[in-house]
Every structure is written in structure tokens, then in C-alpha cells.
Structure 1
Amino acid sequence: MQTLYRRLLRFMPRLGLQVTDLGPGAAVVSRRGGPYEVTDGPAGTKLLSRPGRRLRVTGLDKDTWLLRRAEDDGTGAAARGKPGPATKGVVPLGDTGALLLIEDPEGLDERKMQLSAAEYLCVQHVTAMLGLYGVNCVFDVGANTGQYAKRLRRAGYTGRIVSFEPTSETFARLSKAAEKDPEWRVYQCGLGREETTAEIHKSWLTMNSLLPPSDYGKGRYSRFAKSDTEEIRIRRLDEVMDEAMEGLADPVPYLKMDTQGYDLEVFAGAGKRAGEFAGMQSEVACLRLYEGSPTMGESVAVYEAEGFGITGMYPVTREATTGRVIEFDCVMMRAEAAPEPPAKP
């Protein structure tokens, strides 16, 4: 004898409803799209898919699986929905509990993967340092269209950001990006050693610079072959700090610089107020793209002399043919600015 439950399931299609029977005591009722195909999933689960749309299940660890739409590969694994063993495309990151999923390990571009990972890790590290040191104002010098500020926001930083970008066309895009964020302020100027005006090379995409390209730079980037220039205003960092941090009861600033070979000039403009920054970030060069720009060793020596210590180095660009790093993002913090650890009981 049919139960009331089974009789009700048989009646529902007359009402225009689709019924997918999952077994004793379980069914899926839908208005459209069904009935679904049902396959056995991991750990006693059921997998529902539209007819003809197979699911591939990849075991990430003993309690985690990844479901993807896939055609049957001939082994029946996709159709069955059975979790296979973790593949070489699933990489545990030490004992952190994090897993790196690589869709196509065989076709992986190692250099691109390394640089993308470095960018992600750099933002995560910086955000952690901002939290640890209680930073509430980030000076974003060489902001371009706001890429760095957007990464910080996505990573969870909610404090003030003050971005500096000198060229008019790029500044317009930066201003647009920041207009709905009340704690993101923008200034149309460059920063340097002295108050002045100067000609900046532009039309180099994200690499506008006050310095001309070196022979090495010209050989690496065809964009350096020709450029437009624009006259810009340059201010000193120590002269704009009070205005930028206005309204913050207890400002704790952090300085990020990405000015295409001009970072030491920006830093010089901080003068004695460099000691107010809890930390900083500078793009330092192993191979010089610009004439007159400092080497990595020269830059780091200046920063260390002001009390900053390296907490992270992340490659920004690398030669595809030799593997040499061209530039690093160097993250440095002032250890004396770190909060006191809680007393042990």
C-alpha cells in the first residue's frame, strides 16, 4: 500500500511540479528544471545536476570537496560523483589549514603564478601589519588609479587612505574610484625632496616616472620608446602630513611608495617626520629601469638608518628568460612602534 507521502509525490506533476526522488523519506520538488539527475556524493551525500550536466568532485582534504561541472572523462568518475584522492593541483600550505587549488598544474606558467602569489601575499602581510601596529592612515604615494587602495579595502583595512597621483588623466580616474569612500582622500601632486614643479614622463601605462628610462629599461619595455610629458606640482611629504591626517585623534601613519625610481626622493621629503611612520613600503630595484634611480641596497640602507626593519620582500617583476627579479616590494616596520605584548600571568 502506498503511503500518503508517496501518493502526494505522484500527484504533484499534475500541478506542474517536477519531483526528483532521492530515496526513502527524501525528494526535491521544483517548479522548473527538474527532474534532476541524482548521483551518490561523498560522505553519504546526494548530488543533483540538470540532465546532461555532469559533476566532477575533487577531494581537497578529508572533510572538503570541490564540485565542478565537467563532462565524463571516460572513467565514469564525473558521472558517479565519487571524490577521488587529492590531486597534485591541491597544495596544502604548511599547517595553516589553507589549500592552494591549481586548475591545470601541467599548463602552469611558473613565473606568472609566483608573481600573482607574491602580490596576494604582500597585501595580506601589509594588512596584518597595519592591524598589529594600529595604523589608521595609509599614505599611498604613486597611487595611479587606486589599485593599491582597493586591494587594502578588499583585504579588510578600514582606516584612512591618502592617495597621491600627479598626472591629470590618471588622477581623474583615481578621484572617481575614491568618490564613494569617505575615508579615502586624494591629492593631485607628486611628492619629492622639495616644493617645485617638474616634467613627468607619462603614457607608460602604470609606469609614469619623473626619471628617464635606462638603457636596460628601454630594452625591456617597448613603451619607453616614446612618451608624452606633463608639468606637475611636487610637494614635500612633511608639508602635507598634518592636512592629510586632520581629524584623527591619535594618528598612526604608514607610508607606501611606488614612484618608478623616485621613492628615495619622496622619503627625503618626510624629513624628521619620517620617524612618525610605524611602517613603510617601497618598490626597490635589483635591475634599474630608470636613469639615476637607486639600487635596492642603497634604498634599504637609507630606510634602515631611519629605524625601519624588513618584514617582507615580494617580487614585483621577473625576467622570463633568466628568472632574475627586477623589483621587489619591500615592507618595513619600526619595531619600537609595535604594541607592548600583554604581560604573562
Structure 2
Amino acid sequence: MLMHKVKSIGRRFGVEMNRYSPVCDQYDTLVFLAGRHGAGTMLDVGANIGQFGARMIRAGWSGQILSFEPLADAHAALVAEASAHRRWQVAPPLAIGAEAGTVDINVAGNLLSSSILPMLARHSDAAPESAYVRTETVKVLPLAEAIADRPESERYFLKIDVQGFEAEVLRGAAPVLPRCPLLHIEMSLTPLYEGGSLLCGLVGDLAALGYRCIGLHPGFHDPDSREMLQADGIFLRDDA
């Protein structure tokens, strides 16, 4: 009865209280899986201001982190966040894609939803603060080129959060995927970006690359319809 009252009070303030289980905690699970499969370096593609890296560190991540973020404002905040951690390195401002070059990236009002792809109304209607406010021209490199100077013996946990550009990142990462036993990818369940990848297609593409989906966690929801629009997927390589 007491716990029920405490939960009711918490919900009034937007806080949900449940018994903690490490099995249900995606960050705890990622730390566990990376350790089990020998992935000592996290490649943080689409790092934004460092939220994911910081959460992983709080969950017990003790390996190296190499973060990639193209946007100037987000990159500056990311560098500040990473500076407090000896093993966290931030690459120069850089987008990760399939081919080397430059590209105009759309900057969202909330920074989080910024993308190389045009945003669809389904996204901006559900989150008006995510509407684009400007563009920036950024350098693009395939992941394999961006980490070409790292030891060939290194094994990676690859995290991808690129707002519809996931397939392009995977194309450019192909040469290093055999050294990536563990992937974490934010995926859209419904079209949110013009030409963007969707969950069903990515699951199939990753299966063809030798990965199976072993976990899904809720992400971005439409507050009006309560539909889930994005989810985080955890993928393990079959030969890991």
C-alpha cells in the first residue's frame, strides 16, 4: 500500500518508480555485453552533446570512447563533457556516412533531431521543438576511414544515432564491422525523415551482415497519439 502511494505521488511529478533490474536497463546490458564479447572501445556515432557516453559511464563503462559529432554547437558541448574523462576522445567535427566529402546538415531547434535528411511533418508535428532552424556544411567520412589509424586488433561497440542516415553509416562501416560484435542503433518505426532508414529494413540489412536483434527499448513517442516513433535496438554479431 505504501509503495502504491509513493508511486502515485511520483507520477504526479512525472517520475515513474519501479524495482530496478539490470536485465531491463539497456545501459547496464550494453556494458555487460561489451565486456563479455571483448569490445573495449565504444564508437559513438552521432554523439550530440555526449548524453549517451555519459550514461554509459554512469552504468560502469570503463573502456575507451571515441565520439563523432558534426554540428559546431553540439561538438563544443561534447568536448566539454568528455574533458572530465581521461579515456573519452572526441574526433574533430565530422559526420559519418558512406563516402568522403562535404554535406549540408539540417540543424534542429533541439539539436537532437538534426539530420542530413529532410524532416517529415510526422516528426515535427510530434515534436515542434525539433523543427529545423538552419543548415551547416560539414565534412563526411566513412567510419572505416575515420578510424583507419587505430590498431587492427581493437574490437568495438558501435553506437549509431544519426536520424535516418543509418544505412549510409553502415555502408561506410562495412570494413570494420567484423571487429564490431555489438551494435546499438536508434531506429524509426515510421517515416520521420525523407528517404530515411526504417526499423524493419535495418533489421533485415543487419541480419544479412551477420547480426541478430537481441533487444529493443522504447524511444521517441508522439505525445498525442501515444505511438512509438523510434526505438533503440541492440544487435549482436553471430560470430561474436
State TM-score, norm by structure 2: 0.88
- CA shift at 1:87, angstroms? 3.2
Q: Is the 8 A contact 1:213 1:224 kept in 2?
A: no
* Residue pairs, 1:258-297, within 5 angstroms: 258-297=161-200
Of 174, 179, 195, the residue aligned with 2:78 is: 174
C-alpha distance in structure 2 between counterparts of 1:224 and 1:284, whole Å: 17
Work out the CA distance in 2 between the residues paired with 1:147 and 1:284: 17
SS of 2:203's partner is helix
Matched, 1:210 2:116: yes
- What letter corresponds to residue 206 of structure 2 in structure 1? Y
Is the partner of 1:104 in helix, strand or coil?
Answer: helix
Q: CA deviation at 1:319?
A: 2.4
Matched position secondary structure for 2:184: strand
**Matched residue SS, 1:325:** coil
Structure 1 stretch displaced more, 221-230 or 194-203: 221-230
Match of 1:237 in 2: 143
Instruction: Tell me whether 1:197 sits opposite 2:102 in the alignment.
Output: yes
Q: Give unpaired runs (5+ residues) of structure 1.
A: 1-84, 90-100, 338-345
TM-aligned CA deviation for residue 287 of structure 1: 1.8
Distance 2:3 2:123 in 1: 41
Conserved? CA contact 2:109–2:131, under 8 Å: no
Q: CA deviation at 1:182?
A: 2.3
Is 1:126 paired with 2:126?
A: no
Could you give the per-residue CA deviations for residues 57-102 of structure 1, whole angstroms, max 9, x where no partner exists?
A: xxxxxxxxxxxxxxxxxxxxxxxxxxxx65335xxxxxxxxxxx73
- The 3 A distance-change label for structure 1 pair 225 and 322 is closer
Q: Deviations over 1:293-344 (max 9, x none)?
A: 122111111111111111110011122333321000001111321xxxxxxx
Once the 2 structures are TM-superposed, how far is the Cα of residue 103 of structure 1 from its aligned partner? 5.9
Q: TM-score, normalised by structure 1?
A: 0.63
For the Cα contact (< 8 Å) 2:98–2:142, is it kept in 1? yes
CA contact (8 A) 1:141 1:191 kept: yes
Percent identity over paired residues: 25
The answer as to whether partners of 2:113 and 2:130 remain within 8 angstroms in 1 is no
Matches within 5 A, 1:142-161: 142-161=46-65
The structure showing larger relative contact order (alpha-carbon pairs under 8 Å, at least 6 residues apart) is 2
Partner of 2:214: 311
Q: 3-state DSSP class of the match of 1:270?
A: helix
- What is the CA deviation profile of residues 28-67 of structure 1, one whole-angstrom value per residue up to 9, with x for unaligned ones? xxxxxxxxxxxxxxxxxxxxxxxxxxxxxxxxxxxxxxxx
Find the counterpart in structure 2 of residue 138 from structure 1.
Answer: 42
SS of the counterpart of 1:227? strand
**1:222 Cα shift?**
2.1
Q: 1:225 to 1:276 in 2, by over 3 A?
A: closer
Which deviates more from structure 2 when the two are superposed, residues 229-238 or residues 208-217?
208-217
Task: Give yes or no for contact 1:141–1:165 (8 Å, CA) kept in 2.
Answer: yes
| Worse overlay, 184-193 or 124-133 | 124-133
The alpha carbon displacement at 1:168 in A equals 1.2
Moved over 4 A (4+): none
Distance change (3 Å), C-alpha of 1:113 and 1:234: farther
- Once residues 165 and 87 of structure 1 are traced to their aligned partners in structure 2, the CA distance between those partners, rounded to angstroms, is 42
Q: Mark the runs of 5 or more structure 2 residues left unpaired by the alignment.
A: none
Question: Do the aligned partners of residues 203 and 297 (structure 1) sit closer, same or farther apart at CA in structure 2, a change above 3 Å counting?
Answer: closer
CA distance in structure 2 between the aligned counterparts of 1:196 and 1:263, rounded to whole angstroms? 17
